[in-house]
């Protein structure tokens, strides 16, 4: 099988080395392993590495406040706090030495918006499309069989939210400028860090790149009773990468600019909360970092420049059972990590949050000692591991890629199915299933399921060549099943699926009946048909 701008696991070592990385507690892809990504043309982009680091303060997320309460007969006559969010074109300076960049936003600047909700208390968000008719970027030609629309179509998905399908942000539920969509978010789930982003069919990778993303935090009594760092000591951080053209505007390579559209995207400007390599002044005490990887394609391999450890206390769908001490964490696109970092032993120092050789942001620790009464609890939240025997069904699913003969990007599919093929995954509400995700490609794919949360069971290497030769089961396994790392033992909604391995997840399909989607969260893969609908019936 041809490899077209593939991300290699390792220069040498193959699956054996990959297995060692899994056992070591971090996934198979890091920035050092992404050297074969498609990058923007140097002749058309400025060198963002030449921009001076740590000259802009870190923007803090902008907390949204409701505009009173409203009822919605469309959503079962609910009465809830009402938010009006206007999606519009804005200008914001992403670095001191750049001109204001043309962006799109849920707010007025490049700083992310922030919604806070209490578990069990629903809210209404009215998403207004106030965008101009012309997109910031060159879009793809229409795809056969896929509904197309005006260039500036949008629909918002609150990633990780347990919501009725009408409010989930289904890709074909997009709406055009001058229209709006009222969505209801019940928040009937445990405390977790979710994030909002665009999900409109065919354009969401452009819309997110333009700036359509923000925070959505759910709180509950269990979390609030743990004494974790809060207020100014809790920092929600959106991490992503971008490129700029020679005029300092966002640059995304796409036809007719550079031939076949990029299979993945890597930018040279590391952005946190809307600023390129910012700094933040902190006190010498514990801080809670709520981190979301909102990059199109990039995996971040996070560590602190002084080598100190940190504690991971939560993942995608909330708290872990107990803190996990780490010095490095690989976080895939759309994954979240809830970290506690203690700066008390670094008074007067500057510490960089980094991803391998890349600098993300700088923490400037004060010199004066401060009172920090809170202690990190030894246990956080009980998490019941569901037995495999609870599953009513096991599905074998493949992650595929196929060459195109027309010189365009290769086709990437789930279970060899295109988006417009009939739905093949129909699941009974409140049932439990095991999905075995067999990765036949050379990429690590972060697979996301809408609506539900799940537990990772294990990963196991198999012979891809043998399977491709027969396209039949059983698989020939080439190694033992490996348990998920300690920091993966909580509830997840994104799972890293390494190449040449079967990744098994156990999914309770709780929530609502309706049509949802599952897909790879590398946005360029998702746009190239690595996304499928699934249905839940009651």
pLDDT tens-digit map of 144-188: 666 678 999 999 999 999 999 999 999 999 999 999 999 999 999
Q: Residue 369 has which token pair?
A: 């000692």
Question: Residue 41 belongs to what H/E stretch?
Answer: none
Dump the DSSP string for 421-458.
SPP--EEETT-EEEEEEEE-SSS-EEEEESS--BEEEE
Q: HSE on the CB side for 140, CA within 13 Å?
A: 21
Q: Does residue 213 share a domain with residue 76?
A: yes
Query: Per the domain annotation, does 34 fall within a domain?
Result: no
- pLDDT in the model for residue 148: 72
Under-50 pLDDT residues of the chain: 1-39, 257-260
Q: Does residue 409 share a domain with residue 445?
A: yes
- pLDDT in the model for residue 373: 86
- pLDDT in the model for residue 149: 86
Number of H helices, E strands in the chain: 5, 32
Asked if 323 and 489 count as a contact pair (C-beta separation under 8 A), the reply is no
Domain with 477, as residue range(s), is 388-537
Query: Per the domain annotation, does 84 fall within a domain?
Result: yes
Per-residue pLDDT of 353-411, as tens digits, reads 999 999 999 999 999 999 998 899 999 999 999 999 999 999 999 999 987 655 556 78
Q: Does residue 235 share a domain with residue 360?
A: yes
Distances, alpha carbon 336 to alpha carbons 64, 188, 206, in Å: 21, 19, 21
Q: Does residue 134 share a domain with residue 204?
A: yes
Q: Does residue 275 share a domain with residue 181?
A: no
Distances, alpha carbon 350 to alpha carbons 71, 185, 284, 328, in Å: 50, 40, 11, 18
Among residues 224, 243, 271, the one where a domain terminates is: 224
Distances, alpha carbon 304 to alpha carbons 22, 355, 485, in Å: 21, 9, 20
- pLDDT in the model for residue 374: 83
Give the integer Cα–Cα distance in Å for 185 and 390.
29
- pLDDT in the model for residue 17: 32
Q: Does residue 527 share a domain with residue 415?
A: yes
Give the integer Cα–Cα distance in Å for 317 and 112.
20
Query: Per the domain annotation, does 6 fall within a domain?
Result: no
Query: Per the domain annotation, does 30 fall within a domain?
Result: no
Q: Which residues pair with 92 in a beta bridge?
A: 101
Q: Does residue 210 share a domain with residue 237?
A: no
Overall number of domains in the chain: 3
Cα-Cα-Cα-Cα dihedral sign, residues 500, 501, 502, 508:
negative
The CATH number of the domain holding residue 267 is: 2.60.40.420
Q: Residue 77 has which token pair?
A: 């006559």
Asked if 8 and 35 count as a contact pair (C-beta separation under 8 A), the reply is yes
Give the integer Cα–Cα distance in Å for 172 and 174.
5
SS3 511: coil
Q: What are the φ and ψ backbone dihedral angles of 132, each rounded to 5 degrees?
A: -75, 170
| CB neighbour class for 510 (10 Å; exposed up to 12, middle 13-18, buried from 19) | middle
Q: Does residue 249 share a domain with residue 216?
A: no
Q: Which residues pair with 434 in a beta bridge?
A: 394, 506
Give the integer Cα–Cα distance in Å for 306 and 346.
9
Query: Per the domain annotation, does 42 fall within a domain?
Result: no
Residues in the chain: 538
Query: Per the domain annotation, does 127 fall within a domain?
Result: yes
Among residues 178, 207, 224, the one where a domain terminates is: 224
Query: Per the domain annotation, does 270 fall within a domain?
Result: yes
Q: Residue 138 has which token pair?
A: 């060159």
Q: Does residue 338 share a domain with residue 279?
A: yes
Q: Does residue 67 share a domain with residue 214?
A: yes
The DSSP output letter for 61 is P
The DSSP output letter for 390 is G
Query: Per the domain annotation, does 36 fall within a domain?
Result: no
- pLDDT in the model for residue 141: 75
Q: Does residue 267 share a domain with residue 137?
A: no
Asked if 529 and 412 count as a contact pair (C-beta separation under 8 A), the reply is yes
The DSSP output letter for 138 is P
Among residues 169, 197, 224, the one where a domain terminates is: 224
| CB neighbour class for 236 (10 Å; exposed up to 12, middle 13-18, buried from 19) | buried
Q: Does residue 404 share a domain with residue 347?
A: no
């Amino acid at each position: 099988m041809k490899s077209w701008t593939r991300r290699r696991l390792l220069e040498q070592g193959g699956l054996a080395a990959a297995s060692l990385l899994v056992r070591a507690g971090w996934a198979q892809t890091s920035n050092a392993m992404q050297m074969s990504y498609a990058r923007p043309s140097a002749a058309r982009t400025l060198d963002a590495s030449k921009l001076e680091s740590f000259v802009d303060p870190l923007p803090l997320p902008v907390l949204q406040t409701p505009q009173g309460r409203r009822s919605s007969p469309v959503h079962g006559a609910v009465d809830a706090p009402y938010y009006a969010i206007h999606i519009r074109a804005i200008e914001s300076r992403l670095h001191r030495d750049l001109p204001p960049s043309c962006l799109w936003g849920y707010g007025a600047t490049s700083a992310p918006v922030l919604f806070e909700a209490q578990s069990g208390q629903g809210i209404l968000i009215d998403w207004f499309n106030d965008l101009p008719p012309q997109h910031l970027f060159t879009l793809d030609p229409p795809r056969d069989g896929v509904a197309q629309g005006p260039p500036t179509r949008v629909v918002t998905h609150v990633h990780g939210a347990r919501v009725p399908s009408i409010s989930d942000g289904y890709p074909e539920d997009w709406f055009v400028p001058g229209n709006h969509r009222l969505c209801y978010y019940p928040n009937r789930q445990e405390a977790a860090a979710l994030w909002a982003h665009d999900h409109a069919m065919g354009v969401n990778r452009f819309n997110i790149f333009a700036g359509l993303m923000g925070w959505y935090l759910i709180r509950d009594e269990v979390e609030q009773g743990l004494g974790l760092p809060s207020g100014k000591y809790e920092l929600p951080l959106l991490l992503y990468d971008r490129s700029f053209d020679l005029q300092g505007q966002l640059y995304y390579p796409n036809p007719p600019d550079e031939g076949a559209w990029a299979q993945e995207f890597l930018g040279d400007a590391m952005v946190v909360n809307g600023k390129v390599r910012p700094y933040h002044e902190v006190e010498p005490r514990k801080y809670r970092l709520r981190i979301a990887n909102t990059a199109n394609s990039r995996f971040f391999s996070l560590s602190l420049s002084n080598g100190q450890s940190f504690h991971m206390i939560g993942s995608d769908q909330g708290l872990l059972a107990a803190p996990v001490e780490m010095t490095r964490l690989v976080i895939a696109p759309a994954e979240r990590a809830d970290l506690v970092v203690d700066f008390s032993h670094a008074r007067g120092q500057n510490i960089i949050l980094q991803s391998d050789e890349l600098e993300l942001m700088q923490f400037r620790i004060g010199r004066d000692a401060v009172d920090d009464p809170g202690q990190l609890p030894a246990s956080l939240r009980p998490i019941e591991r569901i037995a495999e025997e609870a599953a009513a069904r096991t599905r074998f699913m493949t992650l595929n890629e196929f060459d195109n003969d027309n010189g365009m990007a290769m086709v990437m599919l789930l279970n060899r199915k295109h988006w417009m093929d009939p739905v093949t995954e129909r699941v009974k509400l409140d049932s439990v299933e095991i999905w075995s995700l067999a990765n036949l490609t050379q990429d690590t794919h972060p697979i996301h399921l809408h609506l539900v949360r799940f537990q990772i069971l294990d990963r196991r290497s198999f012979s891809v060549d043998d399977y491709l030769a027969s396209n039949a089961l059983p698989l020939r396994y080439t190694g033992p099943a490996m348990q998920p790392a300690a920091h993966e033992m909580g509830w997840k909604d994104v799972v890293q699926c390494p190449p040449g391995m079967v990744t098994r997840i156990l999914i309770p399909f709780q929530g609502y009946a309706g049509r949802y989607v599952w897909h790879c969260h590398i946005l360029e893969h998702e746009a190239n048909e690595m996304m499928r609908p699934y249905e839940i019936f009651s």
